[in-house]
Amino acid sequence: MTVYSLEASNGIAAQLARQLGDELVFLEKKTFPDGEVYVRVPSKPRGVAILVSSMYPSQEKRFLELLFSVEALSAYAEGSIIAVVPYLAFARQDKRFLEGEPISVKAVLKSLEALGLSGLVTVDLHQPRVLGEYLSVPSINVLPAEEIAGYFKGKVSNPLVLAPDMGALERAKRVAEHLGAEFDYLVKERDRVTGEVKIYPKSLDVAGKDVIIVDDIISTGGTMALAAKNVLGSGAKSVKAVCTHAVMVQGALDKLYYAGIEEVVATDTVPSPVSKVSVAPSVARGLRELLEQMV
Ligand code: R5P
């Protein structure tokens, strides 16, 4: 196998190549004078090609780099092309919330497959069901729950793991199980036109607890800050915030600390000052599983 690294691999391609004992090849990349993206695969893959790139801002550019690389690799056409996309952008637009909207994640997945993708590994996708809905090639979504829980082991004395909404409960549950802690969720509503988020108080026994709020993405920080205020207002001893994808826009980190959050922790699917947990071990496990399915 050959592991190919695009710029937005954020070190994950190298960790995978080392764990799998495969060669690592860096894709060439430049920008044309008019701003258009150019990529080149400098050498043929030895067997299966593993293409690693996350899709953090600028998401459109990262997506095109990935798409063009899949097309370039498909010209070699001897083995499978597997994309490892630790942060798959556009995943939150997974349905037509308002009339006339696109299902953006469908467009992303279908175009990758149309250009020759044979398999996909993603990390903590907003709605993993989209993989089955919009891809016909094999795919795996890995949840780095064990790695996240591992970070907190021994650092919290009376932990309660919370999801900021019911949709995020499975993630919180998995982290809680690895920590040997209890888990629950808050009640969240988002206005689909204005984007405004409201989190409603729920009768939770958080008094004296070290609460860890777990979400898939922190983008503007609005959801997490509201959740933290809610929990601190109900008597929690401390609040830590953890997410897989630290997109962090519009002063998100300041918003979080100002809301009273003691520590913010994320994985390395998106580079950020709080990306302290590596998803490479989970991704390597997922990739091995996918390869077994594909033989
Ligand atoms: C939404 O359902 C997601 O799971 C996150 O809660 C959300 O995208 C976070 O965005 P923000 O940080 O802008 O509130």
pLDDT at 190: 79
Pocket test for ligand 1, best of 216, 243, 250, 264 (most atoms within 8 A of CB): 216
**Is 287's pLDDT higher than 70?**
yes
Q: What is the pLDDT of residue 198?
A: 77
Does position 232 have pLDDT exceeding 80, yes or no? yes
| 219 touches ligand 1 (CB under 6 Å) | yes
- Residue-level pLDDT at 202: 66
Q: Is 215 in the pocket of ligand 1 (CB under 6 A)?
A: yes
pLDDT for position 97: 94
Say yes or no: CB of residue 218 within 6 Å of ligand 1. Answer: yes
Question: 139 vs 78, 132, 218, CA distance in Å?
Answer: 20, 8, 24
- Is residue 104 scored above 90 in pLDDT? yes
Q: pLDDT of 245-273, one tens digit each?
A: 999 999 999 999 999 999 999 999 999 99
Which pLDDT does position 204 carry in this prediction? 74
CA–centroid distance, residue 229 to ligand 1 (Å): 16
pLDDT tens digit sequence for 109-165: 999 999 999 999 999 999 999 999 999 999 999 999 999 999 999 999 999 999 999
The predicted pLDDT at position 237 comes to 96
Residue 7: count other Cβ atoms within 10 Å of its Cβ: 14
Burial of 280 (0-12, 13-18, 19+ CB in 10 A): buried
Place of tokens 């808050």: 186
Tens of pLDDT, residues 35-92: 999 999 999 999 999 999 999 999 999 999 999 999 999 999 788 999 999 999 999 9
Helix axes of 280-294 and 12-20: crossing angle, nearest 10 degrees: 60
Q: Average model confidence (pLDDT) for the chain?
A: 95
Q: Ligand 1 centroid to 223 CA: how many Å? A: 6
**Measured from the CB, is residue 216 less than 6 Å from ligand 1?**
yes
Q: Which of 218, 245, 249, 272 has most ligand 1 atoms within 8 Å of its beta carbon, as the pocket-test mutant? A: 218
Q: Is the pTM of this model over 0.85?
A: yes
The CA distances from residue 253 to 56, 171, 197, 249, 264, in Å, are 17, 22, 18, 8, 8
Q: How far is the CA of 178 from the centre of ligand 1 (A)?
A: 24
Residue 201 confidence (pLDDT) above 70: no
- Cβ–ligand 1 contact at 164 (below 6 Å): yes
Average pLDDT score over residue span 19-23: 94
Give the pLDDT score at 100: 97
